[in-house]
Amino acid sequence: VKVKGDYRYELGELADTLNYMAQEIVRSNQIKDDFISSISHELRTPLTGIKGWSETLTLGGFDPEETKIGMQIIAKETDRLIGLVEEMLDFSKLQQNEMKMVITKVNLKEILQETMLNVWAKAEQKQIQLKLEDLSEGQVLVAGDGNRLKQVFLNLVDNAIKFSPESSWILLTISVKEHMGVVEVSDNGIGISTEHLRRVKDRFFQVNHQGGGTGLGLAITQQLVELHNGEMEMSSELGEGTTVMVSIPLLDEAEMEELITKQIE
């Protein structure tokens, strides 16, 4: 029998730790390999479209309408590539603590309205109803980077659209609780099992590759929320839907003064 203090016990502990570390290294290498293979696929698909259409159009002889369709596909696929590359760059900046933020006084309500406008067309394509419910009174002011906060909500609504069936709904609510601006994004889409829910915020993790993407979206979103001293919580039920709650501390009077003076300087 090994007892604490006995060198055999200590050696046993050491062996367990080393074993655990070795398993973690193998696991993290496996995750990176999977990521490289899925990102290569993600990059290749739009590239194939762009190459195909540019070669076809170079042959000439198409009427203006056909040419327009080809050009539109090229533009759309290029946007998709830019989006993927930007996501990877953001992730790498966050990893290296190099994400630059321009902090100003931001009204979360305005950010949500802008987000809705940005995703409207995408939701429409799947006949998804987008609703914004305002449970707060007046403005919901926080100190933040408006563009980055918009990125947070765009990511969440984008996921909600991606993982919801046609003709479903997505609800955004905004409220104020305990000196926090609270935004919830709820969908009644495919949901996430309890087992997977623990891991979806991990970098590279995807339940499956069904929605495409890089598996970086939620990891980036979570880190951006944390850079605003906020919190992000997810709840979900398989087959029922998902809710993501983001809370950001409200701006207090003193901070507001400080920000205003900074902007004047």
Residues making contact with ligand ADP (CB under 6 A): 159-160, 163, 187, 189-192, 200, 205-207, 211, 213-219, 242
Cα–Cα distance list, 152 to 183, 218, 226 (Å): 11, 9, 11
Helix axes of 7-59 and 64-95: crossing angle, nearest 10 degrees: 160
Q: Pick the closer one to ligand ADP by CB: 191 or 250.
A: 191
Nearest in space to 183 (alpha carbons), one of 92, 249, 118, 246: 246
Strands, DSSP E only, in 95-179?
104-107, 129-134, 141-144, 169-177
* Rounded distance between C-alpha atoms, residue 34 and residue 45, angstroms: 17
> Shortest gap between Cβ of 91 and ligand ADP (angstroms)?
10
**Least distance from C-beta 119 to ligand ADP, angstroms?**
13
C-beta closer to ligand ADP: residue 214 or 247: 214
By beta-carbon proximity to ligand ADP, the closer residue of 115 and 242 is 242
Q: How far is the CB of 76 from ligand ADP (least distance, A)?
A: 18
Closer to ligand ADP by CB, 188 or 247: give it.
188
Taking the complex as a whole, the smallest distance from the CB of residue 58 to ligand ADP amounts, in Å, to 33
Joined together, the tokens standing for residue 151 give 């990125």
